[in-house]
Structures are given as C-alpha cells and as structure tokens.
Amino acid sequence: MQIQLTINDKAQSFECQPHETLMRVLRREGYFSVRYGSDSGETGAAAILLDGKLVSADAMLAAQADGHLIETVEGLSRGTNIHPIQDAFVRTGAIQSGYSTPAMILAAKALLEKNPNPTEQEVRDAISGILDRETGYLKPVLAILEAAAVMRGEEPSEIVPNVLTPITLPGGDLFDYGDRGGDDFRSGDDGSMLRTRRLPKFIVSDEVPETKVVGKPEIKVDALKLVKGNPAFVDDVELRGMLYAALLTSPHAHARITHIDDSEARNLPGVHAVLHYQNVPRVRYASGGQTWPNPKPHDQVSFDNKVRHVGDRVAAVAAETPEIAYAAVKLIKVTYEALPAVFDENEAIQEGAPIIHDEPDMEGAYDPQHNISHFIHAQVGDVEQGFAEADQIFEQQFYVHQVQQVPIEPHICIGYWDSDERLVLRSSTQVPFHARRMVAPLLGLPIKRIRVIKPRIGGGFGAKQEMLIEDIVGHLVIATGRPVRLELTRQQEFMSSRTRHPQTITYKTGVDTNGKLVAQLMTVVGNTGAYATHGLTVQTVTGLRGLSSYNCPNKKFECKVVYTNIPVPGAYRGYGAPQALFALEAHMEDIAVALGMDIMEFKRMNWVQVGDPLDIAPHLGEGEAEVTVIPIIKSSGLEQCVLQGMQAIGWHRRDDPSWKLDPERPYIRRGIGFAMCMHGTAIPGMDMGGASIKINDDGSFNVLVGATDLGTGSDTVLAQMAAEVLGVPLEDIIIYSSDTDMTPFDTGAYASSTTYISGTAVKRAAEQVREQIKERAGLMLKLDDWSNVDLRNRQAVAPDGRALSLGAIALHSLHTQDQRQIMATASFVSPESPPPFAGQFAEIEVDIQTGQVTVKKLMMAVDCGVAINPITASGQVEGGMVQALGYGHCEEMVYDADGRMLNPSLGPYKIYRADEMPELEVVLVQTMEPSGPFGAKAVAEIPKDGVAPALRNAIYNATGVQINRIPFTPERVWTALQAAGVN
C-alpha cells in the first residue's frame, strides 16, 4: 500500500505492507535514530513525534501514520548546528550509549513546546515512556530542565563540579556525629533544586596534581553523533542482499532432540538456509568472553541434539525477509524426548537429580554426574581454630535471585564476506577480540580470516561479554554467501541470552569479645543454569568480594557451581559481588545489632584500610591465572565516603521515633540503611589493553584502542589521558576503538578494567609519542638536550621559551627532514587490582499492611581514585545504582513449573521509569591511587554492590524484621512482616 508521510517537514510517499510497523518503514527510509527495543513499545527507543505527540513507532502500523506529520531527531539539526535540547544533552553529560537519546530529545521537544517552564516531575513524566538502563535518568532530566531555561532565554548554566568540604570529625570521634545539617535532604518537587544543583559533587584530595584535561568534565567525544541520531550502531547499515535470521528455541527445559525435519522450512520460497545439529559441525566451546584459554568446561556446541533450558538454541534460519524467516522457523518439525528438569541449585546436586550434561564428549566439568561444574575452595588461616576461639558465632543463610541485564539494544550481529572473502562480523559485543578468537574454530576459519567490528553499543552490562550469536551469524553467512542479520527479540534477550547467577549463600562468623572478626566461613551454591560460561569466575569473585571487605585472620570459601535448567547466567555488571555483598552487609549488620554495637563502629573496626592485605585474593584469582603476591591496599577514601553519606542521608534520623513513624499514615514505617562496598579494578595478571597513537599533519592525534566503549564514556576518558600527556585539548584527539583489524588487542569491557588497564596503555603510548615529539623539537630547534621540552597548548616549548606548534613538528617529521611517522604502541597488564570503595545509603518507607517498600532516596559516596571525567564517572554511579535498585527491589525472572519464564517482557519484568525514581545523590571522594593512570581506580561496577543490602538494612531499621532474600516485592515483605507479627 502507498502511504503519505510528512517527515521532518518533507512530504513523502512510501510503499509499505499493511502489517509493517512505522519503525520498520522509517528505518528502511534511513531514519536510523528510530531504534528497536522491543516489539511492543515499552522501551521507547523507537519513539517519534506524530503530530507533535510522542508515540512508540515500533508499536503502531505505518499505515496508521498515513497523512500525519512525523518528526525524528534527524530533523532537529543541520551539520554542527544543533537544537538547544540536543546541546543541553551534550553539555550536561546526559548521554551514555545514546541508543535512546533521540527518543528522550523528542520527548523533551514535545514537552517544551507545550510547557516552556516544566517542573522536574513534569519532565520525568514526559520521558516516562522511555526506559533507560544507563543514566538513572538524572542527567537527562537535568538536561531537559537546562534546555527549557535556555529556550526561555536564560543563560546556560555553568556545569562545573561542585567541590564539597571534607567532613572533619568533631572531637576526633568518627561516630559522635549528631545532626550536622548538611545540604539538601530532599530536592523540591518543583524541580528548581535539581537545576541549581551543580553536578557532580566531589571531595578533592591534596595529593592529586593539577591537570589540564584529566579530571575535567569534558564533553563525551561521541556526544555529537549520538545526540543527532547518526547511524552509529550495529543495525545502522544497509547491505545489498542482506538476509534476515531467526532462531528456533526450545519450548522444553530439558529434552533430547531425536529428529528434526526441516524440509518444509527449506522449501519455503525465500529461505536460504536452515541450520541445526544435523548439518552444523559439532565443535565444543565455552561461550564466556574470557582470556585464552577459556576456562573449562567446554560444554556448548553451536547446535546440540539436546536442549537444557527453555529458550535454548534448536535451529536458525536465514531468509529474504523477517516474515519469511519467522514463518520458516514455524515449519521446522522437531521431535523432542522430554526429560525431567531441575531448576533449584540445591536440588540439582542431590542424588537422583536429572543429569544435565550427560554427553560423552563433555570436557572439564568437576562432577557432571551431580551437576557440579566447578568446586572452588580457598582458605586463609585456620577457620575451625578461629571458631573455637571466638566469643560468639553467628550463622545466616541468604538467597539471591536471577535477573537480566536488559540492555535496551538487544544482541545483534550482522555478518558478511568482504571483498577479500574475509568474514566481517559487525556485532554488539563487549569483547570483539575474544569473540573473533572463539568463533574461529566453530566456523572452521582461521582467525586471520575474521574481522570483528564493534560500533556503538546500546548497553551491555555484561550480557554482551559472550560469544553469543556471532557463531550463528557466521554459520549462516558461510551457508548462504550472503550478508546475514540476526537480532534477538526482547523475549529471546531474556530467555536465550545471559543473566545474573542466583546463589544460596551461607555465612558463619566468629567474633571476639571486642567485636573483632576472628573466623569467617562463606559457603555458596551458585546456579550457573544450563551452561557454565562465566560460572567459575563469577562465583570466584563472590568469594573474593565476600571475604575481602573485612579483616579476619581465618577465612574460608567453599563453593559449588551447579548446572540447572534455567536460562544461562553469565557476566552481569558486578560479576558476583552484588550477590556476595547483599549477604555480607546484611550479616554484618545483624551481628552488630546482636552484639549491641553501633553498626558503623562495628563495621569500621573490621573493614580493611590502607596498608591491609587482601590475603585471600591469591587463592581466588579469576580463571586459571595465579596471583602469587598478596595485594596491599594503597588508597582508600572509605571513611570520608561514609561520613559524606551519613550527612547526606540524615543518618541520625534512623534512631528517631518521631521520624520513623508517620502520624498521617500509621501503617508507614521509615528506615535508613547502609552498606559498605569494596570492589576490584581489573583482573590482575590477566586483563590486558593495548593502544596505538600517531600524529597527523596538523598536530592532531589518532588514538587506536582495543578497549570497548559500551556507552560508559571510556573512549572519552582514554582520549582525555592522551590529551593530557600530549598537551593538546581533547578535540585534537581522534579516538577509534574496538575493531580487530584496526586497533591493538584489548581483553574488552569487563571487570571495571578499561580506565585502569587501557588507560595505562594509552598513557604509556602517549608518553612514548611525547618523547618522539620532544626529540623532533630538539632537532628543529637545534637543542643539545631536549629532555626539558614541555608539551602544552598544542606546542612544544623549549626551556628558553622558543615554541613550535605540534602541527609544525608533524609536518617536519612527515615531510621535511629525516622523515618518520611519530607514533607508538604500548600495552599494559597490571599485577594489582586496587579496590574502589563506597558507602551506599538508602532511605525507604515500608507499608506494614501491604508490604510495599517505597525507596525515597539512594545516596552513594564513591572513592574511585581520581575520576578522569567527573561527569561520566558520576553518570556511571547514578545508572549503576538504579540497576542495583531493580535488583534489590523489583526485578526478577519468574518461571512456571516447567521452566517457562512468566514475565519475559518489560512491564511484567519491572525496571524503573523516570517518573518513579527515588532521589539520587552521588559524591565522588577523590583519592590518589599510586598504581592507576593519573591516580584512577574503577567506578563502573561498584554502584551495583550496595543497594540491595542497604535496602534490606533499611527495612530492618524501619520494621525490625530481617529479610534475607531479594527482591523486596510487596508479598515477600508482607509475608515476612506477618511472620514477625508486624502489622
């Protein structure tokens, strides 16, 4: 059918099918800012303006738009001349991956045209249809309020860091705190406070040297293209003759496939390939994107004759259109022999439980007959002796559940043969180099015939730290000779992607008469689902984080990693630490209360401090790497983090009955909770990053890094480091990342490693380039000694004051005399993993009659060393806290008795919207980490660690009831309150 659309003021006529969505037609016509998030509109990634109103283009027919006016973000700018809303998003740091940024900008446009002076809540309401897993919504709201002010004619706000005064201790007693007043406990509902709140807040360390570019709130290097909606993501390319792939997945949790009849599917016109276990070579592998050699067991093949969870792969189709591909999938006849299934990790290890990996070619599992993929054991001191000497012993069990990362951009990969007949995989991956190495043997191709390109990614959070769909796309490209595109549906993203490991965690802790820990035993049964992938390493990190935060002379970790028939857990931001810290921080809280001690005093007397060894770390190295040196903590801002948090949250109120009760609502109890957080920075001895830098004719620099920017801003902070060393502004750095043909190797985006590992590589490469520039300046200026030449303001400045522009030096080096390319490559592997620290606080209300928990405020004070870019760093914390809020409060994957997920869509699987957010506050507490580039430590994952235990402890503070299982959904809380007689 023919439809008439006026898109961005241009009337156009389009041919479309009656069933086609508006999103599909717009993307086909080149409006790539309209992006897929789901088939039913909840993500808002495909939002456009229809007659000036925000609607989801993925949930309406193109035919319904016939005759209407459409606006997309492509219509808002011309060249670098961007709309004030776009400008505000750029300046305030409201963009992370940028996948849904165009939708937010359009939402803002619709709002501001109707209401030029909106309140904060009105802004939040306007973007309530656009889900964001990255920013916590704080900076987008700030950007819209800022844009509103500018569009009203006000001057743009100066977005500068808000430097706070460190809290010093009255009378030298850390806990003689009282009411220090402090700044805002709560922002006003009218939004005025948010706009006037300069971001981010931070505490400055005297030890940090002055810098020009590092440590400054620079604008993200990719902000302009993202804010304009430029084609930057995997799907934003057009390839002639591209086929569309679709997956057939298992309806059974556990079954043997006895036969597949694909004849009808193959005979469907438009179908080019149907692949399954009968026609794809059986090559074993482990899908976790990890350093070579991938940890065993290698328990997967591309297509198996057995399925081990609902959503497991059965077959794949490539066809001319998505509709034909989906139709062909339905025509594949699979004969299953259903097998008994087991979902609970504790049941799976019992005698007689179904054996999930009974295949004869299974390699490297610890005890597959009992579904145990790994057994992990680590000990320091003598735990039994420690318990024997303890004054009191406490033992508790905790349960943490399964959640999904929910990147708004699902997994997507487009593969094709290039002109050299090499396979190119354009993939939304966090680990392009691992993916290339891992996919090669599955496809029967040498690594050198494969190129993996990672364009912009619409979020990953660990879900894309896998070689997950690249093998399917590669097989289909080989089978058809045509370009092939495979994108997971939202349901498949839940069921056939990766998730967080559920665990049953038991802590047993002995303390002496003073409250000092003397023995701690942590026992974990980790549920790795159908395949082990990251099962070993996630659980190892659980032990490391669960037994490192507090000093204790006798520690022991025992863990069984267990196969079950749930969809596969893997890497998820935090990587075993959120599980551990939920249990640990709840356990420590309860011990303090049981001992009658102040919680902060008890934790502080036990938590690790500068100079303390992380003595269990050598016994819990990730993967197969051995760490032989006991790491020592060299920097910690934890105490200042805790003080800042106590002030910001109003800690004194937790013991004030007049605050905890609400006379107007007698069923409400208020509470405040705390969790101490310590994370790691990269995997010592294993994570490696490489960087290459070269000068251009004009004195600008190309920086090539293997590091993978997921939207975190790593390209920006790496470029800032290069700019700092080379004495140029950030705009003179052209950074290109994550292309296996073009950039140096990098392990990828995980383990909070990029700033620290890849950053050091960049810094080292830049330092080598700086030396070459200085030498060239010495040649040009006829200096006998060029060691004191300084690079600043785009110049090389000699000690005598003479200066050469970097452009002149580049031209001289490239064209004039003793020609050579000024360039250098460097790499870095760290023997250390300096921990960032944080204090996480939560204020909540509990309705004791319904069990509903309402989170009023989350506050995190973080020591991430020197934040290379305070805006991107605080954005990481804000977004991470909100993901962590979902983990503790409302997100859960729920199954029926047969292992079918009951809520594989957004809504039933609940993630927070902009209009229901608690207040967020972040303080960056600067420390100087001597091993980090410019003093930096990690910041990406620590925000995931403390929210769940802080909520739990706040509920305990509010009601006196300990709930040791998450999430804190109404019925779970109500049941616990009822059992405790609180109602």
Query: In whole angstroms, how close is the CB of 356 to another protein at the nearest point?
Result: 24
The strands making up 306-307's β-sheet, listed across from edge to edge, are 306-307, 255-261, 333-338
702 scored as a contact of another protein (CB under 8 A)? no
- Residue 93: count other Cβ atoms within 10 Å of its Cβ: 30
Examine residue 59 and tell whether it contacts another protein (CB under 8 A).
yes
Name which position in 98, 129, 631, 865 contacts another protein (CB under 8 A).
129
User: Counting contacts by CB under 8 A, is residue 913 touching another protein?
Assistant: yes
Spatial distance between the Cα atoms of 740 and 246, rounded to a whole number of angstroms? 27
Please state the closest distance from residue 20 (CB atom) to another protein, in A: 9
Binding another protein (rule: CB under 8 A), the pick from 601, 612, 790, 847 is: 847
Q: How far apart are the first and last CA of the chain?
A: 61
> The tokens of 628 are what?
């032989």
Bridge partners of 840, per DSSP, are: 675, 860
- Tokens of residue 282, six digits: 């059986």
Q: How far is the CB of 312 from another protein (least distance, A)?
A: 22
| Residue 736, beta-bridge partner list | 704
- With 0-12 / 13-18 / 19 or more C-beta atoms within 10 angstroms meaning exposed / middle / buried, residue 664 is exposed
Instruction: Give the pairing type, strands 919-925 and 853-863.
Output: parallel
Of 8, 854, 962, 964, the one binding another protein by CB under 8 A: 854
- Measured CA to CA, the distance from residue 945 to residue 128 in angstroms comes to 26
If you ran DSSP here, which 8-state letter would residue 76 be given? G
- Closer residue to another protein, CB minimum distance, 421 or 664: 664
Question: Please, which of residues 98-127 interact with another protein by CB under 8 A?
Answer: 107, 125-127
* Residue nearer to another protein on the CB measure, 6 or 506: 6
Question: Please, which residue, 778 or 886, has the CB nearer to another protein?
Answer: 886
Q: Taking contact as CB under 8 A, which single stretch among the options 128-136, 494-502, 650-658, 683-691 is the one that binds another protein?
A: 128-136
b/e sequence 431-457, b meaning 16+ C-beta within 10 Å: bbbbbbbbbbebbebeeebbbbbbbbb
Binding to another protein by residue 970, rule CB under 8 A? Answer: yes
The 16-55 site mask, x for binding another protein (CB under 8 A), equals --xx-x-----------------xxxx-x--x--x--xxx
Of the candidate residues 279, 480, 962, 969, the single one contacting another protein (CB under 8 A): 969
- Largest CA-CA distance found in the chain, in angstroms, rounded: 87
Please check whether residue 867 is in contact with residue 637, taking contact to mean a CB–CB distance below 8 angstroms: no
Q: How far is the CB of 566 from another protein (least distance, A)?
A: 15
What is the closest distance, in whole angstroms, from the C-beta atom of residue 234 to another protein in the complex?
A: 23
- Selected from 346, 903, 962, 964, the binder of another protein by CB under 8 A is 903
Span interacting with another protein, options 332-340, 405-413, 709-717, 842-850, rule CB under 8 A: 842-850
Of the candidate residues 208, 598, 915, 965, the single one contacting another protein (CB under 8 A)? 915
In whole angstroms, give the CA distance from residue 128 to residue 751: 31
Q: Please state whether the peptide bond connecting residue 831 to the residue before it is cis, i.e. omega within 30 degrees of 0.
A: no
Query: Binding to another protein (CB under 8 A): which residues in 4-23?
Result: 18-19, 21
User: Do 545 and 577 touch, CB atoms closer than 8 A?
Assistant: yes
* Among 177, 165, 168, 169, residue whose Cα is nearest residue 202: 165
- Which residues does 101 contact at the CB level (< 8 Å), separation at least 6? 89, 94, 95, 226, 227, 229
Task: Report in angstroms how near the CB of residue 838 gets to another protein at its nearest.
Answer: 24
Query: Which residues pair with residue 524 across a beta bridge?
Result: 505, 559
The residues in 878-897 that bind another protein, with binding defined as CB under 8 A, are 889-890, 892, 894
Which one of the spans 441-449, 495-503, 731-739, 850-858 is the region binding another protein (CB under 8 A)? 850-858
Positive or negative torsion for Cα 278, 283, 284, 285: negative
How many residues form the binding site for another protein (CB under 8 A)? Answer: 52
What is the closest distance, in whole angstroms, from the C-beta atom of residue 76 to another protein in the complex?
A: 18
Which 307-336 residues touch another protein, going by CB under 8 A? Answer: 323
Least spacing, CB of residue 297 vs another protein, in Å = 32
Interface residue with another protein among 902, 930, 979, 980 (CB under 8 A) is: 902
Binding of another protein by 295 (CB under 8 A): no
| Site residues for another protein per CB under 8 A | 1, 18-19, 21, 39-42, 44, 47, 50, 53-56, 59-61, 63-64, 66, 107, 125-130, 323, 847, 849-852, 854, 889-890, 892, 894, 902-903, 907, 910, 912-913, 915-916, 969-971, 974-975
